[in-house]
Amino acid sequence: MTIRSIVILTGAGISAESGVPTFRGPDGLWEGHRVEDVATPQAFRRDPVLVQRFYDARRAALRNVMPNAAHLALARLDAEWPGELLLVTQNVDDLHERAGSRRLLHMHGELNSALCAACGAATPWTGDLGDHPPCPRCAAPRLRPDIVWFGEMPYHMDRIGDAIAACDLFVSIGTSGAVYPAAGFVEWARDAGASTLELNLDPSAGTPMFDEARHGPATQLVPAWVEMMLRARSY
Ligand code: OAD
């Protein structure tokens, strides 16, 4: 099959070898925190100090990590692939853009962005939010992390849906397949007639849905797959 259009979905597993913790599993973020305490609008209303502290710490930690070989390989694919390509990430870190990816959408928001709960403006932000800085647009001291919390609508769903409907190949990298709607993208892609490939450390909840699954660390699997794609110009 000739591949022209590729959609790639990434999750926390692609950043794990950079030192960014994943969510689920023994060392995962959700082992140390209950999702309901830090990642819902209700949690933010109930205890904004705890929620801001959690995301301020994660934002600060980004300064100490670097893109790894998997991020860099996807940036190379973005630069060199002659056809359509869209990288959709569930990650809120900035490692894909620091690696050089351009055709990139953050469906769960970004740590380096602040969202004003008063005027709705999103502003690039690398500092803390816990000390109530004013919104650069409206001056209200109501900035929150620009993160899609449980119960909120992921970003860019129309563009993502259109890209998946038109893709020839859907590739899922480093995600557990536990959180919808991203976990359902493989089914959308199959419905659209695309080939589907999973690259993950170990089998995920979604593995049976994929045409092919390769298991191992992202820093090995992703550069090898990108090399193959760029050599063959097809899957
Ligand atoms: P998870 O922590 O649920 O899953 C990470 C996946 O990466 C697992 O399947 C691991 O096996 C795999 N993995 C770990 N290390 C890896 C490595 N070195 N190479 C390849 N794969 C590796 O993270 P996500 O699937 O991204 O949402 O979680 C989805 C969403 O749930 C997140 O975006 C977040 C979370 O709640 C929000 O915060 C809104």
Alpha-carbon distance of 77 to 4, in angstroms, equals 13
- What pLDDT, on the 0 to 100 scale, is given for residue 235? 47
Looking at the fold, whether 115 and 170 belong to one and the same domain comes out as: no
CA of 9 to the centre of ligand 1 (A): 11
Helices and strands in the chain, H and E counts: 10, 9
- Whether residues 54 and 160 share a domain: the answer is no
CA of 14 to the centre of ligand 1 (A): 8
Task: Provide the domain limits for residue 131.
Answer: 21-64+110-147
3-state helix vs strand vs coil in the chain, percent to 5: 40, 20, 45
Residue nearest to atom 32 of ligand 1 (CA): 90
The whole-angstrom separation of Cα 107 and Cα 145 is: 14
For residue 86, the CA-to-ligand 1 centroid distance in Å is 19
Atom of ligand 1 nearest to the CA of 17: 18
Domain boundary among 147, 164, 199: 147
- In a 10 Å sphere around its CB, with 0-12 CB exposed, 13-18 middle and 19+ buried, how is residue 110 labelled? buried
186 lines ligand 1 (CB under 6 A): no
Among 120, 147, 174, identify where a domain stops: 147
Residue 214's φ and ψ, nearest 5 degrees, are -120, 135
The total number of structural domains in the chain stands at 2
Does 98 share its domain with 195? yes
Specify whether 71 is catalytic. no
- If asked whether residues 93 and 202 sit together in one domain, one would say yes
Residues 116 and 138 in one domain: yes
Same domain, yes or no, for 3 and 57? no
- Whether 201 lines ligand 1, by a CB cut-off of 6 Å, is yes
In this prediction, residue 25 carries a pLDDT of: 74
Residues of the chain with pLDDT under 50: 235
Could you tell me the CATH number of the domain that includes residue 103? 3.40.50.1220
Q: Are residues 182 and 167 in the same domain?
A: yes
pTM here is 0.96
- pLDDT of 234 reads 52
The 10s digit of each residue's pLDDT in 87-121 is: 999 999 999 999 999 999 999 999 999 999 999 99
